[in-house]
């Protein structure tokens, strides 16, 4: 897991939607070190069980691997 954290970005924002069928979370996040713009994007959760606890509109703080597309969130 340490290797996965080597290239990660801390992002925070609001959940737009949860796609449990594809293990994706759509989040509208604020600007952060890895992305200087506020935007809406899809991220994949490393542990899809986390999606069961997330709801539209919920504020989340995530740590995501930037070198994957979609970004994979390795910590919540």
Does residue 58 surpass a pLDDT of 60? Answer: yes
- Which domains are delineated in the chain? 2-75 (2.40.50.320)
Alpha carbon separation from 42 to 2, 3 (Å, rounded)? 23, 22
Over pLDDT 70: what percentage of the chain? 75
In 3D, which of 23, 37, 28, 20 has the Cα closest to residue 58? 28
pLDDT digits (tens, 9 = 90+) for 1-36: 444 445 677 888 999 999 999 888 999 988 866 667
């Amino acid at each position: 897991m340490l290797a996965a954290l080597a290239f990660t970005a801390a992002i925070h924002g609001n959940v737009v939607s949860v796609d449990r069928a594809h293990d994706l979370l759509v989040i509208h996040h604020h600007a952060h070190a890895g992305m200087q713009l506020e935007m809406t994007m899809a991220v994949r959760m490393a542990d899809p069980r986390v999606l069961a606890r997330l709801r539209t509109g919920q504020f989340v703080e995530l740590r995501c691997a930037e070198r994957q597309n979609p970004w994979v969130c390795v910590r919540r």
